[in-house]
């Protein structure tokens, strides 16, 4: 039996105004890619309900697919199913329009929400170009952070919390009594994966965690509790329990890794800088008392995906 599930799902997701005239879809369709005029693009692939589906329209829909899905359509029967589903989508749209669903307020709301997200994404593109990083900058960073580019390994635990005040209080308590670290991690850490193991992260080398976390962790001696460390995930307290010293990696071996780190850091700084300017210009004021009285509804439990391992918020990507 020929499988139909994949093509149906693909077409339901991507089919837009491909077969409808512009006057029916409400706006002219935007071409998927610039290409020179092609007389063959007007060849009729199929007719239905007094309409025509052309070769160009089919190609336009195929171009919207990710590369793996395009390869899937090389087989003639799958290509046939793709066209069948394009036509089916148009017929289903006609049915819905006859029922007045194209004027449904809830659909209008969802369309407006999508438009809002797309506008925000388009604006954000202006700030997504990472800065250039020269070899000299990478070498300077390498020299300033020798422990981040060595083969040294450490075994560490951490406690992650959301606010700085809580982190500082826990840090002061644990520096007086480091033996309670695992107990406090189980009770207080918001990194639930490691919290179940008393904050244990295992044995790891440089490059496994975010740079700000690693910079502090690799500077600690066994048994030493860090000061509070801030990363994009929150506020950490780190305890190193084992250390295995290793030689430094050659600069040429890690140069591109360092450049990527500096580009990402620069990108984050320029985006955050723009956000700060927007907030300042708009004179943003938040009433924390009112905010504290907002309680989100409880989340419905969801079944875990078989075989999926939870990702720790401290991991580097």
The whole-number pLDDT of residue 316 equals 46
Q: In this structure, are 94 and 162 located in the same domain?
A: no
Q: pLDDT, tens digit, for every residue of 33-51?
A: 445 556 567 899 999 999 9
Residue 238 scores a pLDDT above 70? yes
The whole-number pLDDT of residue 6 equals 42
Q: pLDDT, tens digit, for every residue of 275-296?
A: 999 999 999 999 989 988 988 8
Residue 173 lies in a domain: yes
What does the alpha-carbon distance between residue 316 and residue 158 come to, in Å, rounded to a whole number?
15
Query: Is the CB of residue 85 less than 8 Å from the CB of residue 7?
Result: yes
> Which of 17, 130, 5, 6 has the alpha carbon at shortest distance from 66?
6
Residue 161 lies in a domain: yes
The whole-number pLDDT of residue 20 equals 45
Residue 200 lies in a domain: yes
Q: Which of 244, 276, 302 is the last residue of a domain?
A: 244
Mean pLDDT of 17-23: 40
Q: In this structure, are 161 and 236 located in the same domain?
A: yes
Q: In this structure, are 229 and 166 located in the same domain?
A: yes
Mean pLDDT computed over every residue of the chain = 84
Q: How many domains does the chain have?
A: 2
Q: In this structure, are 14 and 98 located in the same domain?
A: yes
pLDDT tier for residue 71 given thresholds of 50, 70 and 90: confident
Residue 141 or residue 296, greater confidence:
141
Mean pLDDT of 89-111: 95
pLDDT tier for residue 128 given thresholds of 50, 70 and 90: confident
Q: In this structure, are 98 and 179 located in the same domain?
A: no
Q: Which of 199, 217, 244 is the last residue of a domain?
A: 244
What is the value of pTM for the model shown? 0.55
Residue 115 lies in a domain: no
Q: How far is CA 268 from CA 137, 141, 259, 308, in A?
A: 17, 17, 14, 29
Residue 57 scores a pLDDT above 50? yes
Mean pLDDT of 129-153: 92
Q: Which of 244, 278, 312 is the last residue of a domain?
A: 244
Mean pLDDT of 12-31: 40
- Percent of the chain residues topping a pLDDT of 90: 67
Domain encompassing residue 190: 151-244
CATH of the domain at 198: 3.10.50.40
The whole-number pLDDT of residue 126 equals 87
Residue 189 lies in a domain: yes
Q: Please, which residues have CB within 8 angstroms of residue 130's CB and are 6 or more apart in sequence?
A: 263, 264, 266, 267
Residue 175 lies in a domain: yes
Neighbours of 151 (CB within 10 A): 12
pLDDT tier for residue 300 given thresholds of 50, 70 and 90: low
The whole-number pLDDT of residue 26 equals 38
Residue 209 lies in a domain: yes
Residue 183 lies in a domain: yes
Residues facing 53 on adjacent strands: 46
Residue 36 or residue 120, greater confidence:
120
Return the ∠ at Cα 286 (arms to 280 and 291), rounded to 5°.
155
The whole-number pLDDT of residue 162 equals 94
């Amino acid at each position: 039996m020929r499988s139909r599930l994949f093509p149906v799902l693909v077409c339901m997701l991507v089919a837009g105004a491909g077969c409808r005239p512009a006057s029916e879809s409400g706006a002219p369709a935007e071409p998927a890619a610039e290409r020179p005029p092609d007389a063959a693009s007007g060849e009729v692939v199929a007719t239905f309900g007094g309409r025509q589906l052309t070769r160009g329209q089919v190609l336009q829909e195929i171009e919207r697919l990710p590369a793996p899905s395009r390869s899937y359509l090389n087989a003639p029967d799958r290509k046939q199913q793709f066209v069948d589903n394009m036509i089916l989508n148009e017929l289903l749209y006609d049915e819905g329009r006859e029922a007045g669903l194209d004027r449904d307020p809830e659909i209008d709301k969802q369309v407006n929400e999508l438009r809002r997200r797309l506008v925000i994404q388009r604006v954000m593109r202006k700030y997504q170009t990472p800065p250039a990083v020269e070899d000299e900058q990478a070498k300077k960073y390498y020299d300033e952070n020798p422990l981040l580019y060595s083969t040294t390994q450490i075994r560490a635990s951490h406690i992650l919390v959301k606010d700085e005040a809580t982190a500082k209080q826990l840090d002061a308590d644990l520096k007086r009594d480091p033996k309670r670290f695992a107990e406090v991690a189980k009770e207080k850490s918001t990194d639930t994966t490691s919290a179940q193991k008393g904050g244990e992260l295992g044995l790891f080398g440089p490059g496994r965690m975010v740079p700000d976390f690693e910079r502090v962790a690799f500077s600690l001696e066994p048994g030493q509790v860090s000061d509070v460390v801030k990363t994009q995930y929150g506020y950490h307290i780190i305890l190193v329990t084992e250390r295995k010293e290793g030689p430094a990696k050659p600069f040429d071996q890690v140069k591109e890794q360092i450049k990527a780190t500096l580009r990402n850091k620069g990108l984050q700084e320029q985006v955050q800088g723009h956000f700060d300017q927007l907030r300042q210009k708009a004179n943003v004021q938040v009433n924390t008392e009112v905010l504290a009285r907002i309680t989100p509804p409880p989340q419905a439990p969801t079944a875990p995906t078989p075989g999926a391992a939870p990702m720790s918020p401290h991991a580097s990507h």
